Amino acid sequence: MTRILSYNIRHGGSGREHALARVIRAARPDVVVLQEATKPHVIEQLARETGMAYWGSRRGQSLGYLSRAPLDHVEWRKPRVSRHAFIEIVPAGGAWRIVGVHLSAVHAAWTEHRRHYELRALLLGIQQHEHGPHVLVGDFNTLAPGELFDFTRLPMRLQTLVWLSGGRIRWKTIQGVLDAGYVDAFRSLQPDLVGHTFPTWDPHVRLDYLFVPKPCIERVSRCQVFSANEVCEASDHFPLLAELA
């Protein structure tokens, strides 16, 4: 099994390194895909505190990683239309290629439109690997088809953005992933669970996902929202933990 943890550590993680490390240690991952990992010295400290021998982060780039074992390949790639570069991680000798994702934030019609274009650029960028075992994992900042979102629980400034953009958002980014031949691993394994990942102090929306190509879904034995005692003080996102055969 390969255990993958996806974790948005919020604003670089400064000042919360010990709490973040405790959460990561509790999850016992082999690879951690980090979002908002904008401060390399924080990621270096997390690697040290969690016993991860390999790590990577670029100042100002959202995606970073921690790995227990050596990696064959790591690459950041930023499509022209994307706010954040995505990251490709290939563990040494592993069957899976890991693609870390962080799409644009803010819930509004125009940002959902942007996320849709970011997703298309991402899929175009990895199309040479689309037939092999790989995962798309991270903070997609959007809702899956059929899931409900109570806008009144947003801060007032964000509620205002929703109304300025028309008062209604057509959530289409996740449908684009599904239409491209991927399966939402959490929803496939746990169809009756809500799976909210944000925010930790008042969970009411699922923003974090792991997708695999349809032929690979039987090799995903676990995909769950991970909770530990320190999660609420460590970040505003719950991490997502998956096990891949």
> Is the per-residue pLDDT at 175 higher than 50?
yes
Terminal CA-CA length for the chain? 5
> Is the per-residue pLDDT at 46 higher than 80?
yes
> Is the per-residue pLDDT at 205 higher than 90?
no
Q: How confident is the model at residue 150 (pLDDT cuts 50, 70, 90)?
A: low
Residue 62: DSSP 8-state: S
Which pLDDT value is given to residue 95?
A: 83
Q: Does domain 2-244 have CATH number 3.40.50.20?
A: no
Q: Which long-range contacts (CB under 8 A, 24 or more apart) does 46-51 make?
A: 46/13, 46/17, 46/20, 46/21, 49/17, 49/18, 49/21, 49/25, 50/21, 50/24, 50/25, 51/25
Flag whether the pTM goes above 0.85: yes
Which pLDDT value is given to residue 212?
A: 97
Which pLDDT value is given to residue 151?
A: 60
Residue tagged 């891949």 (tokens): 244
Question: Which tokens sit at 35?
Answer: 């979002």
The domain limits of the chain are 2-244
Out of 5-19, 77-91, 167-181, 201-215, least confident range:
167-181
